[in-house]
Amino acid sequence: MRAPLDPPEVLLLGPGPSNPHPAVSKAMAAPLVSHLDPYFLTVMEETMTDLRTLFQTRNHHTVPVSSTGTGGLETIMFNLVEPGDEVIVGIIGHFGQRLAELAHAAGAVVRPVDVPWGQVLDPLQIAREFENGPAKLVALVHAETSTGAAQPLPDIARIVREHDSLLMVDAVTSLGGMELDVDEWLIDAAGSCSQKCIGAPPGSGPITVGPRAIDAIHRRTTPVASWYFDLQRLFSYWGEEGSTKARVFHHTAPVANLYGFREALRLIHTEGMQARFHRHQEAHDLFVAELDQIGLSLFTPPEHRLPMLNVVNIPDGVEDAKVRSEMLERGIEISGAFGPLAGRAWRIGLMGTNATAPVVNRLVTNLAEVLGR
């Protein structure tokens, strides 16, 4: 006979998922209603409103796509891009590379603009790429989880607007943990996830899509190459702007998952967005100071560092996998790195509920013991 589920309690300090707040887990166990129940339609409305506040946007088209972050990004890419469209992709690490792959999958002619890992794009690089010809879309990662670097967006966004192009941003790691002002920064579409700084389990790909991007979708001459992720079909369920039309079945929304997501948004707005960003920054600063005391350093140059995701250099002679498995035995998950940083760095997240001084202290105490420092 199969034993009942009994997962270990782990402090999740990788690049996500982070540990959800207990109120989020409790909300997910609330009585299930149908995805078209009047109560659930209210939950959907509240979720859209709170998500707009988090993205700092008035965009009507702001919803958690039923997927993980990747599905939300795919929704944006597949709706904005038609086969043959030119797309400039800024690549500052692994997830920029994935954006290029998504654009390619949507049929785009991809024009990559890259920098060495750990660096970020200079807006002039994007301006120069436009000298090679117009592009329908520019796609960038805001918080590059593979390198721990934050890509500044407003200057690039202005250049994109001057060239009458659209800007799409991967905000999977940044949303809820640092400033991201979609309207003020002139971002046309952004996608994130539920399981990092928002502090819910994986299962939502929150997106926001602005009026210029919606216009581009209306001007398409070819159908969107996805049924499930077709934004216009999706909004027949989530509700078109100003429409009183009854919502039409598109898919069975993951009701319990959305309960959790809505609760996580409620907690964010109860705490206050600025207070939350500040808490993430403080946890990061404390972590860097404590790492320094045990002789460890970060890979990412100080001027580019993200608050919520730290890429820590593995000291010479230290075995990556051994340390991670000893940490896991102590109930703490930290993560390895990708590509050129594999075996050379750990990726350590302080996201959502875990961006606190007690968590940092427990982490560094255990890391020091495991490393014998």
Ligand X SMILES: Cc1ncc(COP(=O)(O)O)c(C=O)c1O
Judged by the rule CB under 6 A, the positions of this chain that interact with ligand X are: 15-16, 68-70, 95, 141, 145, 170, 172-173, 193, 202
What is the rounded distance in angstroms from the CA atom of residue 71 to the CA atom of residue 325? 30
In the complex, the smallest distance separating the C-beta of residue 20 from ligand X, rounded to whole angstroms, is 14
By beta-carbon proximity to ligand X, the closer residue of 201 and 239 is 201
- Between the alpha carbon of residue 19 and those of residues 14, 62, 111, 125, the distances in Å are 10, 25, 37, 38
Residues in contact with 234: Cβ distance below 8 Å, sequence separation at least 6, in sequence order: 63, 65, 75, 250
Which run of H or of E encompasses 191? strand 189-191
Query: 248: burial class by Cβ within 10 Å (0-12, 13-18, 19+)?
Result: exposed
Q: Are 58 and 183 in contact (CB under 8 A)?
A: yes
In the complex, the smallest distance separating the C-beta of residue 372 from ligand X, rounded to whole angstroms, is 31
Q: What is the DSSP string of 122-149?
A: -HHHHHHHHHT---SEEEEESEETTTTE
By beta-carbon proximity to ligand X, the closer residue of 47 and 370 is 47
Q: Are 87 and 138 in contact (CB under 8 A)?
A: yes
| Amino acid (one-letter) located at 227 | W
By beta-carbon proximity to ligand X, the closer residue of 69 and 239 is 69
By beta-carbon proximity to ligand X, the closer residue of 304 and 362 is 304
In the complex, the smallest distance separating the C-beta of residue 198 from ligand X, rounded to whole angstroms, is 11
Q: Which residue is nearest to ligand X (CB)?
A: 69
What is the rounded distance in angstroms from the CA atom of residue 182 to the CA atom of residue 56? 6
By beta-carbon proximity to ligand X, the closer residue of 141 and 367 is 141
Buried b (16+ CB within 10 A) or exposed e, 191-229: bbbbbbbbbbbebbbbbbbbebbbebbeeeeeebebeeb
By beta-carbon proximity to ligand X, the closer residue of 291 and 309 is 309
In the complex, the smallest distance separating the C-beta of residue 215 from ligand X, rounded to whole angstroms, is 26
Q: Are 170 and 99 in contact (CB under 8 A)?
A: yes
In the complex, the smallest distance separating the C-beta of residue 95 from ligand X, rounded to whole angstroms, is 4
Q: Are 67 and 91 in contact (CB under 8 A)?
A: no
By beta-carbon proximity to ligand X, the closer residue of 76 and 135 is 76
In the complex, the smallest distance separating the C-beta of residue 234 from ligand X, rounded to whole angstroms, is 17
In the complex, the smallest distance separating the C-beta of residue 351 from ligand X, rounded to whole angstroms, is 11
